[in-house]
Amino acid sequence: MLYMRNCKFSKDERLHSKKSIKELFDKGSSFFLYPFKVICLDQEAAAENQILVSVSKRKLRKAVHRNYIKRRVKEAYRLNKFLLEEPGVTKKLIALVYVSQELMGYHKIEPKVKKILQKIPKAKFPKNE
RNA sequence: GGUGCAGGCUGGUUUGUCGCUGUUCCCUGCUGGUCAGGGAAGAGAGGAAAGUCCGGGCAACGUAGAGCGCCAUACUUCCUAACGGGAAGGUGCCUGGCCAGAAAUGGCUGGGCAACAGAAAGUGCCACAGAAAAUAUACCGUCCUGGUUCCGAUUUUCGGUGCCGGGAUAAGGGUGAAAUGGUGGGGUAAGAGCCCACCGGGUUCCGGGUGACCGGCACCGCAUGGCAAACCUUAUGGGUUGAAAGACCAAAUAGGCUUCGGUCCAAGGGCUGCUCGUCCAAUCCCUGUCAAAGGGAAACCGAAGUGGGUAGGUCGUUUGAUCUUUUCUGCGAAGAAAAGACUAGAUAAAUGGCAAACACUUUGAAAAAAGAACAGAACCCGGCUUAUAGGCCUGCACAUUUU
RNA sequence: GCACCCGUAGUUCAACUGGAUAGAAUAUCGGAUUUCGGCUCCGAGGGUUGAGGGUUCGAAUCCUUCCGGGUGUA
């Protein structure tokens, strides 16, 4: 670590409110970056970016495998979320939906998450008042 | 030591660093709290956490109890909080070994399987084939016998054959998954447990066992198949719904109720589904002779209070039929006693990521390379079932080697 | 979490209360008809009835254990 970064991942940064999730999936706009579908929504009132990781039961049948993917995606977000911390960028609700059927290791997932996090600040999303 | 089968146990370890969720302690902050932030210590998935197939705890509802219906279970005894689970035993079937014997076979012993109550309470079903599929009856057949036709031999009479009758039978009918005890002998006109021997079956009694049941004597010629994972009968058990149960706290917005204050010749209705416009209407009750006036209802506006209740949160929620060790009781499942331990508690859901080292398996002389199963708590327990790499232990069988 | 339902030719469905070869349409293939194709006619193949075990003389059907798919509920 060259300089101190906030590498924590507390509960405030996880999207867990039923209402917010419904808004995100109703109003948010999405794009694909294999193996993820990313859904995003600007949230001016929020203090933190909030993220949600989802792995479909249809794609990965075993609960162990779903946990395996979710843990690695969350870890990749935790170590790379500073990419979103740019001045003038509003806070967002983000959903990362894993759509592949293959069981990827951390070293395959991390560069994809990095790409996504670099792409998000540049794109424009609908705002939620 | 090897291979196979059966059963049981186990289900990697350590370090660094960056994180997550509880617990305890410390510091700081204020709104002084079951608060927020920071730090430290110590803890953090399984034998199946799975399937949700059973049984309980717990909770709500209902409760004066009972019956019907429905569902489940079904050899015996025991274990257990309970069970459809487990232990031990009985019976039947299958199978391996040993012994006796010429053989048939018998005895001893190991293992496996069994929804293993009732078919003589009743109802129903048993295709095709077969005379017949549950009734010992009909049919064919066998035997005896009366009348009669014809033929042969012939004194009467006898034999054969066809037809019409009367009787005795249940031997035979070879089909089927299944056929009304089996084999042999006697017996008879022909036959039949009609009689006898052996085998099989049933009943009573006696003895053993808590019991399922076992053993023995005697007697009965033997009397009526299968299916209850068909309906059913008997016995036993089950009230229903499940932690998203349930208890509590409770923001914002809208609406409900109560109180207070204010407004009211406009609320309201029609044309018209809406807006505008226009028209209609100028309310009702009480006090009062009437009028005037006052009060109330209704409507609207504002304020305060309040009940329900949504988002959200807290509890339920992890100290328990708990775990470990020792001793005792019991064939065993298991039980009792003593000592010690606290061992996940999440909630769009933590228990992790990365980098190494060691141990294990395979290949290899080595270096090294590859592999490392099944699988993730969701209120909690007891089981069952299913998945499972590798390792360890026990028993049995087989072949081989050594002594 | 709880409760429940369904798996049959490539596809859509049958097969009664267990009874024999699992049937029909369509699709596929072959032949006929046509100059060729379509339509039509004739014929054929295609199923371990989701998998295993059991009951029964006999199982798609009854019982049981798994696998897969789906529905309701709050």
**DSSP one-letter string for A39-108:** EEEEETT-SS-EEEEEE-TTT--SHHHHHHHHHHHHHHHHHHGGGG--TTPPPEEEEEEE--SS---HHH
Side-chain-facing half-sphere of A121: CA atoms under 13 Å? 14
Q: Please, which pLDDT band fits residue A2 given cuts at 50, 70 and 90?
A: very low
Token pair listed for A16: 């867990």
pLDDT at residue A1, as a whole number: 26
Which residues are registered as beta bridge partners of A37? Answer: A32, A97
The radius of gyration of chain A from alpha carbons, rounded to an integer in Å, stands at 14
Report whether pLDDT(A83) > 50: yes
Q: CA–C1' span, A74 to B296, in Å? A: 70
Q: Is the ipTM value over 0.85, yes or no?
A: no
The domain defined by A30-128 folds into Ribosomal Protein S5; domain 2 (3.30.230)
Assess whether A58 (CB) lies less than 7 A from strand B: no
Report whether pLDDT(A129) > 50: no
What's the sign of the alpha-carbon dihedral A6, A90, A46, A39? negative
Q: Which nucleotides of B are covered by protein (CB under 7 A)?
A: 18-21, 38, 45, 311-312, 347-355, 375-377
Report whether pLDDT(A19) > 80: no
Q: Please, which pLDDT band fits residue A62 given cuts at 50, 70 and 90?
A: confident
